Structure 1
Amino acid sequence: MLAGMHYKSLFPPVPPLPEQNAHDFILDPMGQGHDIDHVLHVDASTGRKRTRREFKQRVRDAATALVSPPSDGGFGIGIDQGEIIGILSHNCLEYITLVYSSLATTIPFALISAYSTPFELVHSLRVAKATRLFVHPSLLSGALRAAREIGLSEEHIYILEGHVKDRRSLGEAIEEVRRRQIPRVPVKPARRDTLAYLVFSSGTSGLPKAVMISHGNIIYSLVQTIISAKDDPVPDGPPNVVLAFLPFYHTYGLHYLCLRGMLAPATFVVVSKWDVDAVLSLIPKFRITVLPLIPSAIHQIVNHKRIRKVDFSSVTTIGSGAAYLPPQLAAALQSLVPSNPRIGEGYGMSELTISAMRTPTPTMLGGRIEAKVGSCGLLLPGMEARIVRADGSLAGLNEPGELWLKGGNVALGYWGNEKATKETFVDGWLRTGDTVRADEDQVFFFDTLKVSGVQVSPTELEDLLIAHPDKLIIDACVAGVSGGRTSDEKVPRAWVVLSERGKRRGDAAVIKALTAWSQQNLSKYKWLRGGLQIVDQIPKNPTGKVLRRVLQDRYEESHSSSRAKL
């Protein structure tokens, strides 16, 4: 309900939580999770399997290997010496092992994109202040070059999974401490504010900042999930089989597939990286029941040339995150799946650990609030929200403004960046930079344009422009500008940043191609009647959210000047 200055979640509150290591909360049978032994992980490429019990034992041995001195076969990583483990890898089984062993030892880890350019990799390692680095063999040469540039000793670069001659691997260290029968180190106690990991989030300059997530943030986020799911129980039956292709270095993949997924019995089919052809073969091969997806992946799936031949009969649950999912794209995917599952969505970002909202199910909250097309959902347990106008005052119902959020899942801040932290984290509130509105049911929606009386989502148009098959742009922003039938009606206008391929083609050709693409794929009322402009950079706030208002104001100012001259 609306409580004075802000909204509060409709769910039961999050109870006081103990100071606890996130490892224990998830894997300890006395915690909130389960301790049923079953096949937990399957390597999609090799078929190699690992049970939950085998995984737990491997995690404890890996933790022992991390902190044991080299004389005992370990890596000798000093817990109390400010060390941080960098992880540079595509998805693999040992990635999850390292995540949990780092939590157990309270050695923070930094999640680094496996698709980093050389410049981005150097930046990430430097910002994280990584002192050790575990690398996928295919990324080793780039890691060595980056390490030389920042002064990281090559002796502190290890192989995460597999083997490389003359370089230590996590698996070899685990086998060594087992062979020597080194006593397992105990799980180290952690407080709510004990740093668990760093995850990178883009900002105004395009250079990522390291978001600090604590053990308390992780546990709070998991409890939010447990409380919100109580009205939506999982039917009895064999464990779900989850397709795990979302990158583990991203917030969505890390939590949905590595952390949150452990709370109920499930088998995760680990896919190294996204490949639509491979994925469409894996779904029937492993009888996948749960498909966590992102809109760009859904777009590739529904438009695949052999999509009508794919067997989706095993799929019972679909989720979508990381970006806005256009309703027509959701409907196209649902039409392919015999069970016609509701596609679960939500709202989140790295600075929120993972999420702050979810769309309601028919049984949630007694069924009194139904899912609404195009919404972000309801506030998760323990969340509070404000919708703030540009002048700092609070917006009314169905009035757009900037979303501010508060809860125990809000990150500690940005690692080593006090300025950005002060701009984004204000008196316990996270300024998201997103423009939203809330209706009378406390269902939140991204701000939309109303063209000819019909709602138009800027995010949908941005996603479509970026999805152009020729990859002509790397960023886009759509917002409403003057030019409608009435003085107060806005029309969509796009600002885009060219890719290298787009630059080679030239501004005029790109504008022509994108205009044709949007008109081919959008209803007429969604066309970019406000035009399309190429810019060097899309302005963003410290959380990486687009500052549409800046571009709108620039446009209106320049065009009002032009009209005045006329």
Structure 2
Amino acid sequence: MNHDKICVTDAWYPSKDEGVVMPGIAAPWYALYPEGVEHGLRTGIRNAMELFQASLRSNPDAEAISYFDGTLTYKSLDDEARALAAALSQRGLVHGDRLGICLQNTPHFVIAVLAAWYLGMAVVPINPMYRVDELAFVVDDAGLAVLIVETGSGEDIAAEVLELRPHVLAFAASPDDYQRRADDRVLPSVPGPGVLPSLGREIETHRKASFARAEIQPSDVAFITYTSGTTGRAKGAVNHHAAAAYAGDTYRNWVPLVSTDRILGLAPMSGTTGLITGLVATLAAGACYVLHYRFQHGVIRDAIIEHRPTFVVAPPTLYIALLDDPLLTPEDLSSLTKTYCGGAPVPPTLVSRWRERFGGEIRTAYGLTEATGPTHLAPVGASIPVDPETGALAIGVPVPGTDARIVDTTGADVQVGELGELVIRGPQVVRGYWRNEDATEAAFVDGWLRTGDLVRMSSIGWFFLVDRIKDIIIASGWNVVPREVEDVLYQHPDVREVAVVGIPHPYRGETVRAYVSTRSDVPSVTVAELTSFVRERLAVYKCPTEIEFVTELPKSNNGKILKRRLRDDAMSSVRENPLADAQRHERN
């Protein structure tokens, strides 16, 4: 195969001497681009490892990772990665093998990624919240050769999984490594001798060992990132090095990011947001990645005050949690001048509340696991519009090199301003799912990725995400967009988080149920008051016929609200007591 030009769907990743390659369709959004941002595909770096190597060469003594009171420079990070690569090489790991990382945001995660890439291995990030069956599925589906888990409970789960899979090499990493604070607000207590070999000891004993470094091609697999499973069984998206490099480089040039930036790792690296907007963007910019194990209000507050991060991308739920922290001040967050929100629809009220309290601007971002990160970003300096018909905040405009269309159910383009499914193609879009031809054929049509998202575009190129197509509720023949109902509920001062789903109804077919968490443990607002609040703002068929107060909404490790779990719970209650449920609906 000629690796000078690698085809990623229908978009070419250009070689270094080709200049800027323009997308294949007319793009009104170019006029909204920040000054200095090219319209087409950027050339240059061809794989994600080159991003790290370039930053290592330019400033080896720069801080690469900050973890509580510990730091790793680019040189020391490279030393750790090389030692681990040598250890893995001596144990027989080779180019193309898969290495699974089931960790929170610790330095070991970054070290393991770089070590894998030194050998040409593919990295499989795994949600550390997974239980035995979930972990076993990924181990088998990805065909892991190596698995890295956390000491303690992670070892216990892994041991149960690996008992029937002795061919998988496994190590345990301690979150206490590379720092001395042992913050008991998030870090687990130090366990006794573990059941798996220590990753730290493996690194230490191979510091002087050598290994044969692999030559990485753009078509080599950088990550296999599993979807969150919010719409069914998780699927492994195959993210090639060309795609990962392009996605990280997109953030560097769009935001823009420079070597003096400090990137706050709010999103877990077990998901695409943490991998690309955290790890890969850090490597691309030669910046510092501020890690803190996992999200906890007090720890995040301390990390922001101490380490003064400048850039962050996080889902709405994490911004809401920061807004609800009464101790955070505008001065505390003054260093965060580059803030982006994505991973789920962004309520306009979240952006306005953030501006009113902290004085900063949250910019929107949109991407998918299947797109290796961002496909749309809000341009710096532009005022982000709200769709007048649905109240949805714009997700941004397509990033350089990315084609975007909105189509109807037949695949034909809709008129500007009409709703349809967003389909995209570009160098960051994956080629398909790991060992899943049926899912690949369903999601990728003629080189275009079907996103499953209901979107409209303005005449000048802003894109508005209205909702997931599968989330649309059909009540008495009327289409109800859950996002529209959620945005109205978010306007109520007592509402903290909300999720709206459709549940079966004996007369309407489906009806609208809202799950609401409030700003206090004891709700100060009643169901009747919230119902009245919505009915004053929306047509009656869109209003929830049921509202249920919950302490917390179920979320994935990436902070996404799990609507599928809410629907499943609602369906279970209907099946268990259909008569009572029907009577309750009729009273409403």
Give the TM-score of the pair, scaled to structure 2: 0.71
- The answer as to whether partners of 2:489 and 2:534 remain within 8 angstroms in 1 is no
The equivalent residue for 2:241 is 215
Q: Distance in 2 between matches of 1:223 and 1:300?
A: 29
Q: Indicate yes or no: 2:542 matched with 1:530.
A: yes
Q: CA deviation at 1:377?
A: 0.8
Q: Indicate yes or no: 2:149 matched with 1:132.
A: no
- The answer as to whether partners of 2:242 and 2:427 remain within 8 angstroms in 1 is yes
Q: CA deviation at 1:424?
A: 0.2
Q: Secondary structure at the residue paired with 2:293? A: coil
Q: Distance in 1 between matches of 2:498 and 2:237?
A: 23
* Unaligned residue ranges in structure 2 (runs of 5+): 1-21, 31-37, 178-190, 387-392, 473-479, 504-509, 518-524, 547-560, 565-588
Q: Distance in 1 between matches of 2:99 and 2:526?
A: 42
The counterpart of 1:355, out of the listed 371, 374, 388, is 374
The counterpart of 2:483, out of the listed 444, 459, 471, is 459
Structure 2 letter corresponding to 1:197:
F
The counterpart of 1:61, out of the listed 61, 79, 83, is 83
Q: CA deviation at 1:67?
A: 0.9
Structure 2 letter corresponding to 1:115:
M
- The answer as to whether partners of 2:51 and 2:284 remain within 8 angstroms in 1 is no
Q: Indicate yes or no: 2:294 matched with 1:243.
A: no
The equivalent residue for 1:27 is 53
Q: CA deviation at 1:428?
A: 1.0
- The answer as to whether partners of 2:339 and 2:361 remain within 8 angstroms in 1 is yes
Q: Distance in 2 between matches of 1:498 and 1:371?
A: 27
- The answer as to whether partners of 2:347 and 2:490 remain within 8 angstroms in 1 is no
| Residue pairs, 1:331-350, within 5 angstroms | 331-337=352-358, 340-350=359-369
CA-based RMSD of the aligned residues comes to 4.0
Q: Distance in 2 between matches of 1:302 and 1:324?
A: 17
Q: Distance in 1 between matches of 2:335 and 2:230?
A: 43
Give the TM-score of the pair, scaled to structure 1: 0.74
Cα deviation digits, residues 266-323 of structure 1 (max 9, x gap): 3322111111232123322333333433211111221234445983343333221211
Structure 2 letter corresponding to 1:530:
K
Structure 2 letter corresponding to 1:55:
L
* Unaligned residue ranges in structure 1 (runs of 5+): 69-75, 363-368, 450-455, 480-491, 500-512, 535-543, 548-566
Q: Indicate yes or no: 2:197 matched with 1:168.
A: yes
Q: CA deviation at 1:332?
A: 1.4
Q: Provide closer, same or farther for how the CA distance between residues 319 and 307 of structure 1 changes in structure 2, counting only shifts above 3 A.
A: same
**Mean Cα deviation higher: 390-399 or 202-211:** 202-211
Q: Secondary structure at the residue paired with 2:375? A: strand
Q: Indicate yes or no: 2:444 matched with 1:431.
A: no
Q: Distance in 2 between matches of 1:155 and 1:316?
A: 44
Q: Indicate yes or no: 2:405 matched with 1:392.
A: no
Structure 2 letter corresponding to 1:169:
S
**Mean Cα deviation higher: 139-148 or 201-210:** 201-210
Structure 2 letter corresponding to 1:14:
L
Q: Distance in 1 between matches of 2:403 and 2:292?
A: 36
The counterpart of 1:115, out of the listed 109, 129, 140, is 129
| Residue pairs, 1:358-507, within 5 angstroms | 358-362=377-381, 370-373=383-386, 374-447=393-466, 458-459=482-483, 461-462=485-486, 476-477=500-501, 494=512
Cα deviation digits, residues 348-401 of structure 1 (max 9, x gap): 010000010100112xxxxxx653241111111111111101233211111111
**Would you say how many aligned residue pairs link Structure 1 and Structure 2?**
477
Q: CA deviation at 1:464?
A: 8.9
Q: Distance in 1 between matches of 2:77 and 2:533?
A: 46
The equivalent residue for 2:39 is 12
Structure 1 letter corresponding to 2:199:
L
* Amino-acid identity (%): 23
Q: Indicate yes or no: 2:303 matched with 1:282.
A: yes
Cα deviation digits, residues 82-110 of structure 1 (max 9, x gap): 63111111111111110111122111121
Q: Secondary structure at the residue paired with 1:447? A: strand
- The answer as to whether partners of 1:21 and 1:189 remain within 8 angstroms in 2 is no
Structure 2 letter corresponding to 1:156:
L
Structure 1 letter corresponding to 2:385:
K
Q: Provide closer, same or farther for how the CA distance between residues 171 and 300 of structure 1 changes in structure 2, counting only shifts above 3 A.
A: same
Q: Secondary structure at the residue paired with 2:205? A: helix
Q: Secondary structure at the residue paired with 1:415? A: coil
Q: CA deviation at 1:421?
A: 0.4
- The answer as to whether partners of 1:519 and 1:527 remain within 8 angstroms in 2 is no
Q: Provide closer, same or farther for how the CA distance between residues 63 and 152 of structure 1 changes in structure 2, counting only shifts above 3 A.
A: same
